[in-house]
Amino acid sequence: MVRRNPKNPANRNTGRGNASAANAGGGSGFVRIIAGKWRGRKLPVKNVEGLRPTTDRVKETVFNWLAADLYEARCLDVFAGSGGLGLEALSRQAEQVTLLELDKGAASQISQNLNTLKADNATVHNTDALSYLSNKGQPFDVVFIDPPFRNDLLSDVISKLEQNGWLSHNALIYIEAEKELGQPVVPTHWDMIKEKHAGQVSFRLYQREEK
């Protein structure tokens, strides 16, 4: 997996990559939509340094976990990268998806892919995730958090989501992180309902219970 240099502040946002790693010579890879109305579609992904692949196997597991909860859900993809999770949620009938991505090229490619799909119920923000989440928010039903490795962003994101009103009462929160971190510290009213490991990655699904 490709990881960004944690000392570079420009690395704070880009996390998840394409389903097929972009080649090192400057070409592009692709993201594949697994199921739903766009099942099987392959969409281009910019070869941006630091994009880290989420495999189809992991993605399929995650969306099996969420299968009963995506219909008409409002979703937030905090470190969008290739946009793979947000696009998959849209394909599976999410009502609206907001995607945050710091890298201009990656954000532009997500927007182009949404135009290709004629998806008018998604918004891409080319912005720093922590700055965006520092504002008062609107509640989302499903939130995807897959920060770049070794940048120590997870605790700040969790805190801002909870404190600034970004989560609905019973929101589902998906967290993907390097296995070496162990189980992340989350609010006491977040219950971990699913957990799995694949290679160097651990991924978990939490259910927020109303205080």
**How far apart are alpha carbons 146 and 50 in whole angstroms?**
13
**How far apart are alpha carbons 78 and 132 in whole angstroms?**
9
Residue 161 clears pLDDT 50, i.e. is over it: yes
Q: What is the mean pLDDT of residues 134-146?
A: 97
Q: What is the mean pLDDT of residues 106-121?
A: 97
Could you tell me which CATH number the domain at 28-208 has?
Answer: 3.40.50.150
Question: In the chain, pLDDT over 90 holds for what percent of residues?
Answer: 73
**Which structure tokens are listed for 67?**
């299968």
Q: What is the mean pLDDT of residues 124-135?
A: 98
Q: Which residues contact 8 (CB under 8 A, 6 or more apart)?
A: none
Say what the pTM is.
0.86
Q: How far is CA 112 from CA 122, 136, 141, in A?
A: 12, 28, 25
Q: What is the mean pLDDT of the chain?
A: 86
Residues, the chain? 211
Lowest-confidence segment of 55-59, 92-96, 131-135, 170-174 by average pLDDT: 55-59
**How far apart are alpha carbons 130 and 109 in whole angstroms?**
21
The pLDDT-based confidence of 72 (bands split at 50, 70, 90) is very high
Q: Where are the domains of the chain?
A: 28-208
- The pLDDT score that the predictor gives to residue 149 is 79
Residue 10 clears pLDDT 50, i.e. is over it: no
User: How many Cα neighbours within 13 Å face the side chain of 132?
Assistant: 20
- The pLDDT score that the predictor gives to residue 48 is 74
Residue 20 clears pLDDT 50, i.e. is over it: no
